[in-house]
Amino acid sequence: MPDLISPHGSDKLLPLFIEDHSAREKLREEATRLHNVTVSSATAGNAVMLAAGYFTPLTGYMNKIDALSVGESMHTAGGLFWPTPVMNLLPDATGFTVGDRIALADPNVDGNPALAIQQVESIEQFSDAELTTLCQQVYGTTDKEHPGVAEFLAQGNTVVAGPIDVLNYSYFSTEFPDTFRTAVEIRNEIAGHGWNRIVAFQTRNPMHRAHEELCHMAMQRLDADGLVIHMLLGKLKPGDIPAPVRDASIRKMIELYFPPNSAMITGYGFDMLYAGPREAVLHAVFRQNMGATHFIIGRDHAGVGDYYEPFGAQDIFDSVPDGALKIELFKADHTAYSKKLNKVVMMREAPDHTKEDFVLLSGTAVREMLSEGKAPPPEFSRPEVAQILMAHYQSQNQ
């Protein structure tokens, strides 16, 4: 068995899902007797990531001091390197107090079943100024037009901290049974493949030719044994392509254009933050936890609109202290198909090219083509992938 990279801040994964069936049933029964709090979708996503081991070594939701420290320095008050606050933010704490156990109701599942039980260690208030500062530090903006900022500021000013026991994986394990994987499961599968050097690729979009070739480039240059395509399965901003469509298109691409047993198609249960550089660091943390040794960071990673510099998500790693992370980066430039070379290249590696030498299409142009039933050129998108995306867009137009 290969000796996999160690998890972040721990010698073993610390998933918070209660595996033992009888213990879980006891907790479910207890939850029916506890004060019930319907949490935000962001808080529910944090619970799923804690449950799945992705947020090792955290044991629950951060308190105010830790959250403010993370915002200021990307470290908790105790010194753990961590890039974004992991909180249970609520409008108020009516009905419970410090020392209580509360049932956290899932906002994303019909009937709002208990997702987790939290031991309440502290209940604190952020001032509006503190929350604004934290928002600026994490998202780089306080503009409520930014989808991540809007979600963050809508949760409330009350931060309820403490450890949690998680009872299920929300809707992710039932709606995406073939794709949703915990960090524990991905590590086990990597070990089963016998892979030692593993590249992780983050996506919230379908993968076009440029993404496909970027993965091939990274694997070749890093002499990697395997690729883990790890797609976000949670909430996105309006207009983004739904997870089942992305999943189908990526599976088709892997089936046709990757060697057998060279790539795993997986997903994780979390809402997109669109926090650009800070979210890129978070992505690196939980890819280390799932067993990847290398992580592809490209242009405008985890960004939205024009809020971040094109390579800000790479530059932020210059401020990550030595030794804080074991995972290594594969820093990628914008990739596009070269008409001169008849292949996809990183644009910085083709200095003799002009813009006209590349096949470049805006996201808007691609969406319009797909909506009209026109496949983008094969240099941009594999025909088999385009068919799946065209069917989606045309169904939206009916």
pLDDT tens digits, 317-371: 999 999 999 999 999 999 999 999 999 999 999 999 999 999 998 888 888 898 8
* pTM (global) more than 0.75: yes
Fold of 21-173: Sulfate adenylyltransferase (3.10.400)
Neighbours of 12 (CB within 10 A): 10
261 is catalytic: no
Main-chain dihedrals φ then ψ at residue 299, nearest 5 degrees: -75, 135
Segment holding 330, helix H or strand E: strand 328-331
Question: What is the rounded average pLDDT of the residues 220-229?
Answer: 98
Task: For residue 201, list its beta bridge partners.
Answer: 229
Question: Cα dist. 346→219, 224, 269, 349 in Å?
Answer: 15, 19, 31, 5
Q: Which of 101, 204, 251, 367 is the catalytic position?
A: 204
- The strand pair at 101-105 and 35-38 is best described as parallel
For residue 72, report the phi and psi dihedrals to the nearest 5 degrees.
-75, -45
pLDDT tens column, 133-161:
999 999 999 999 999 999 999 999 999 99
Spans of all domains in the chain: 21-173, 178-397
For the segment 198-218, what is each residue's pLDDT rounded down to a tens digit? 999 999 889 999 999 999 999
Asked if 204 is an active-site residue, the reply is yes
Could you tell me which of 215, 297, 336 has the C-alpha nearest to residue 264? 215
Question: 297: part of which helix (H) or strand (E)?
Answer: strand 294-297
pLDDT tens-digit map of 375-390: 999 999 999 999 999 9
Confirm whether 21-173 and 178-397 share one CATH topology. no
Quick one: which of 117, 118, 135 has its CA closest to 126? 135
User: How does residue 190 score in pLDDT terms, banded at 50, 70 and 90?
Assistant: very high
What's domain 178-397's architecture?
A: 3-Layer(aba) Sandwich (3.40)
Nearest Cα neighbor of 294 from 332, 331, 316, 327 is 327
Q: Tell me, what's the pLDDT at 396?
A: 83
Looking at residues 102-123, what average pLDDT do you find? 98
Looking at residue 82, its pLDDT comes to 98
Report DSSP letters for 102-151, one per residue: EEEE-TTSTT--EEEEEE--EEEE--HHHHHHHHHHHHS---TTSHHHHH
- For residue 158, count other CB atoms closer than 10 A to its CB: 18
The catalytic residue among 36, 112, 157, 205 is: 205
* 1, pLDDT greater than 60: no
Q: Count CB-CB contacts under 10 A for residue 260.
A: 7
Token output for 176: 């995406």
SS3 at position 384: helix
pLDDT digits (tens, 9 = 90+) for 60-88: 999 999 999 999 999 999 999 999 999 99
| 87: amino acid identity, one letter | M
Residue 9 falls in which region: left (phi positive, over 0), alpha (psi -120 to 50) or beta = left
Assess contact for 36 and 114: CB atoms under 8 A: yes
pLDDT at position 341: 96
| Stretch 228-243: mean pLDDT | 89
